[in-house]
A and B are shown apart, each in its own frame.
Chain A
Amino acid sequence: MALSDDDVRRVAELVRIGLDESEVKPLGEELSRIFSWIEALREVDVEDVAPMTSVVEMQLRERDDAVTEGDCRDRILGNAPAADEGHFVVPRVIE
């Protein structure tokens, strides 16, 4: 499985990782090498095999509907690189 330059650019954009144009080709080659190794999975017969959803047989546990946390604005904002009047701040969003 070979990744094209466009594949590399498209995925980098999806996952929001900046990429210099000079990096596109080498990264594509490296990922292609990894994917050709991964191709081995095609040999496995997975007909009617359920995908693993949980490694252990368990039921999803549900919690009671109660307010137990959340009134902690200082703890929430304490690590923020930019905060103002109780808000996180980001560069202007244009919708």
Chain B
Amino acid sequence: MPSDLHRLGVAEATARLAAGDCSAVELVEACIAAQEAAAGLNAVVTDTAEQARTAARHADQRRQRNEARPLEGIPVAVKDIFCTRGVATTAGSRILDGFVPAYESTVGAKLWDAGAILLGKTNMDEFAMGSSNETSRWGPVRNPWSPADGPALVPGGSSGGSAAIVAARAVPAALGTDTGGSIRQPASFCGVVGLKPTYGRCSRWGIIAFASSLDQAGPLTRSVADAALILQHIAGFDPKDSTSADLPVPDLHSALQGDVKGLRVGIPAEYRLDTLPVAVGDLWERGIAWFRAAGAELSDVSLPHTRYALPAYYIVAPAEASANLARYDGVRFGRRSTGEDPDDLYTRTRREGFGEEVRRRIMIGGYVLSEGYYDAYYLRAQQVRTRIAEDFQAAFREVDVLLTPTAPSSAFPQGAKTDDPLAMYVNDIFTVPASLAGLPAISIPAGLDDERLPLGLQLIGRAFDEATLLQAAAALEAAVGTVPSPAGSA
């Protein structure tokens, strides 16, 4: 009889391992088998089964010696944007072909130090630039919710592989990164929990940079409790990251206890778009009703600069990316094209190594920073960003969390939006504002639309108040009840 250990969440698996009901080797083997079965999703780009098996044996030995650590033996898939020592890391780009880091990201190292085991580097949009996982040099990821008889759907992006593999029940948790919604939007599309912590909560050291002032690592899991558990172990101050916050990490597990009676939940008026699909609007209303039923105090709030968030984001993120990606020049690592002189080498390497969307964003970034345009674009965007952050500060004087949809739609078919960058960019309309303000936010699977595709609701919290955010998320999760598994899961 096939094992169903791969269907366990982090907390359940930890309990089973601790009770001796199963071994880490059995757990990891079950996940390896599930990942093999899910190979058609194209969610994993580098298989780490062999090293995971070795790690699992060591985990079992530690447990026998009573030296088990908090996440001992828990397999975790990691987005291919995290540098993993000795394991190829490509950020979904040809330009990093052959790159094998000699170092481990701080977040990854913390996870392995807590006993977790790397199982699979996951597919992603190239350099995290995309909302559908279609810009990857490894090809698109198939959303496990794709109907058997219909078109292949996208998993969202950029952490599409991480969301898909967790949704497919082939690993209990995965790491992603979120710059403008890259954890939350794929979580919504794939029906899993996706948490973007406060900017500065998790170290960025060893994570390939897209937009430095926005990038933040976080977990994708199948429950709020699991997201809290993973965050507990990856968060914390890192002296190697100047933007890492030197603040204690609260006990997130205990934060999940208790109810939301009296919790003030704000509904931002500007998120009620005319173009919002009925299913999304209805789900949002249901979310409001659930919170009200649980004793929370609901109120409308205003975030007046919401509509400027996406344009500001599409200046700030490409500008930072254009500089962050300058190091991919074919000299010290990765792909190199032949060139007659260094400029020729750069021009060819970058032309051939970067995909279309990455090239487009580097062009946007180069343009908005170029002489004569800096004030009109970059400076203004950063000023607008201040305005957006002020909007949130004002709102959080009235409420404790904000409730919004995560994405303006459910998963769409592959190829549906690849010809229209603006249509693609609009996917992040609800996730980008919190990113610009650096706030923590989480997407919780809250139901299915009429095509039986998952939809998520987003909660946004105060800076560094992940505890309240997770408490509210757990209450919402409880109200939603059991969410079905996708047909495409193992």
Contact = CB atoms under 8 A, between A and B. Distances in A.
A and B, direct touch (CB closer than 8 Å): yes
Interface of A: 3, 7-8, 10-12, 14-19, 27, 30-31, 33-35, 37-44, 46, 49-56, 58, 60-61, 63, 72, 75-76, 78-82, 88, 90-94
B245 interface: yes
A11 B307 CA distance: 28
Contacts of A33: 422
18 contacts: A15-B362, A30-B421, A38-B315, A41-B311, A41-B377, A41-B384, A46-B383, A46-B384, A51-B382, A54-B213, A54-B243, A56-B198, A75-B103, A78-B100, A79-B100, A80-B331, A81-B334, A81-B336
B192 to A, nearest CB: 26
Nearest to B201: A56
A41 B366 contact: no
In order of increasing CB-CB distance, the 8 nearest A-B pairs are: A55-B438, A18-B351, A51-B382, A79-B333, A81-B336, A46-B383, A15-B366, A16-B346
A50 B340 contact: no
Interface string B320-354: 00100010011111111001111111111011101
A76 B101 CA distance: 10
A38 B348 contact: no
B237 to A, nearest CB: 10
Interface of B: 98-100, 102-103, 198-200, 213, 239, 242-243, 245-246, 305, 307-308, 311-312, 314-315, 322, 326, 329-336, 339-348, 350-352, 354, 359-360, 362-367, 370, 377, 379-387, 389, 421-422, 436-438, 463-464
A77 to B, nearest CB: 8
Given A11-B363, A46-B387, A92-B341, A79 B332 contact: yes
Given A49-B386, A79-B100, A91-B342, A41 B331 contact: no
Nearest to A43: B308
A75 B102 contact: yes
B366 A14 contact: yes
Contact of A37 (B362, B384, B422): B422
